[in-house]
Amino acid sequence: MAWRIWQSEKRKTTSVASARRDIVTGGIMVAATLLLIGTGGTVVSNFVAAMTGGHQAADQVLTTAVILNVALLLFGWRRYRDLQHEVEERAVAEERAQSLAASDPLTGLLNRRSLAELGAELVDTATAKGRGVAVLMIDLDHFKTVNDLHGHGIGDRLLKACATVIRDMLPQGALAARLGGDEFACALTLDRQSAGQIDALADALVNRLAIPFDLDGARAHVSASVGIARSDQDCTTVEALMRRADIAMYAAKKGGRNRMAWFDTSMERELQLRNAIEAGLRDGIPRGEFVPYYEQQIDLETGQLQGFEVLARWNHPIQGIIGPDIFIPVAEEAGLIGDLSTAVMRQAFEEAKSWDAGLTLSVNISPSQLKDPWLAQKIVKLLVETGFPASRLEIEITETSLFENLGLAQSIIGSLKNQGIRLALDDFGTGYSSLAHLRALPFDRIKIDKSFVLSMSENPESAAIVNAITRLGESLNLPITAEGIEDPGIIEQLKAIGCHKGQGWHYGKPMTVNQVRRLLAEHGMLLPGRAPAEPDPDERRHIFGY
């Protein structure tokens, strides 16, 4: 609205200045015309008489005045023509400026501000007629991949093609806008009892946008996630509708992409919880609220403790101990997993220095961390700063994290290996197993996913998979660790097939640092000077999301 007022005032100022110039020019032309009429006849008659032999010569002063009047008339006409051209150019420029300010320059659709203004009018009109308004937020899935593969020129062509599809599929009177990047929005009226028409439209959009686009010989594949919100008693403004539709759109992406989702209040609560967790991460990491817990790793033949796997827990000042299932996904999404992992590893390395030199630490590396080209240097820096030996550290990497950038993963793994750090392939057998990874990457150990170990006794297929992985490890000279041991009978099965190391709740739940110190002190595996602490009240606090 302020922009419109400014444009209006600007046009008024420009019009006044132009009008003043027109008045001056017009006055000059009128004066010159009157002078020409008043003196022109006399000058012409005298000039004719002189030319025909008469004795009266033309008055030089009047002749000069006539010539000047003619020149003024020519000047005025030229000035008038220039002013007309200037006015026409200004009108075209203002019209273009208004169009650019109201629309997206790439696709020709409305922009965000225009959608907000026209959407508000649409809501008011629909409400007055007893109808509702639906807003659809459309986000293209994997659009960045198209830009990376084919370049931004093809990406822009794809955006224009998608805009055409959206515009053509909307009913008459609907609004369509590009909000920026690969995000679009639509607003349209609907009968309050007939949401089915919106379902049909959203499904049609999802299906059509999933069809590949042929653009200058390039075949571009995208899909669309669509979020929908409709006006009701609690949501009567276009801004609120857009916010709700945006929440629903992200729910559609979270649900697998290439689909539609209607907004419901549970989505908003989930978003609020997610934002609270992210805020807690940002505040809690520097405050030391994220601490290591330790899961025992046991020699299945002797029952002796061989080391611990480090697990992160959130020691929340109000809610107590919170498990990783709650905060790790948010840390990954928010780009905080690196800082979180560094904080937990530093504490674990400092603590493990006081343990028996034969005990090892295993640390999980997330897929997003494996995208960091400086990961190996950061881990080595932590080892140097804490004084923890690299030979006692084992880094666990899941198979899924290797697929996105195998070249970078090879570089990181090679750097870690060169520092004497051991490497384990985690969750082997969960659907991404590739013998090529075992051949191409210098792993020292294979870890069998707990989903197979837990069901060994009841599921012959799981037992066969565990047996096959163990045989594979033997042939490649890679020792095996079985996760998820909760039953003594499973231990005997694992020992029978040659698996000699395991971990799981049969040996105890993950332990706090104080519990580990007491355990090691009882077995004479705690170095002098690091006495076990008294029981920590936090150990008895409830664990959420364990």
Which stretches of 142-243 are assigned E, i.e. beta strand?
Answer: 175-180, 183-190, 213-215, 218-220, 223-230
**Of residues 290, 297, 291, 314, the one with CA closest to residue 508:** 297
The answer to whether 136 touches 71, Cβ cutoff 8 Å, is: no
Beta bridge partners of 302: none
Catalytic residue, candidates 295, 309, 351, 483: 483
Beta bridge partners of 424: 396, 445
Which stretches of 317-392 are assigned E, i.e. beta strand?
Answer: 320-322, 360-365
Q: Distance (Å, rounded) from C-alpha 102 to C-alpha 175? A: 13
Tally of CA atoms within 13 A in the half-sphere of 267 that contains its CB: 20
Q: Distance (Å, rounded) from C-alpha 402 to C-alpha 349? A: 26
For the record, the structure tokens of 124 come out as 């008011």
- Compute the Cα dihedral for 370, 373, 374, 380 and give only its sign: positive
Sequence-distant (≥ 6) Cβ neighbours of residue 244 within 8 angstroms: 135, 227, 229, 235, 263, 268
CB atoms within 10 A of CB 112: 15
**Of residues 108, 104, 501, 516, the one with CA closest to residue 291:** 516
The answer to whether 186 touches 115, Cβ cutoff 8 Å, is: no
Residues, the chain, total? 546
Q: Distance (Å, rounded) from C-alpha 210 to C-alpha 203? A: 11
**Of residues 402, 452, 395, 451, the one with CA closest to residue 424:** 395
Phi-psi region of 433 (alpha: psi -120 to 50; beta: other; left: phi over 0): beta
Is 89 noted as a catalytic residue in this protein? Answer: no
Q: Among all chains, which residue has been given the structure tokens 């020129």? A: 153
Alpha helices in 103-151 (DSSP H): 112-128, 143-150
Whole-angstrom CA distances from 372 to 324, 335, 401, 414 are: 21, 11, 12, 14
- Catalytic amino acids? 483
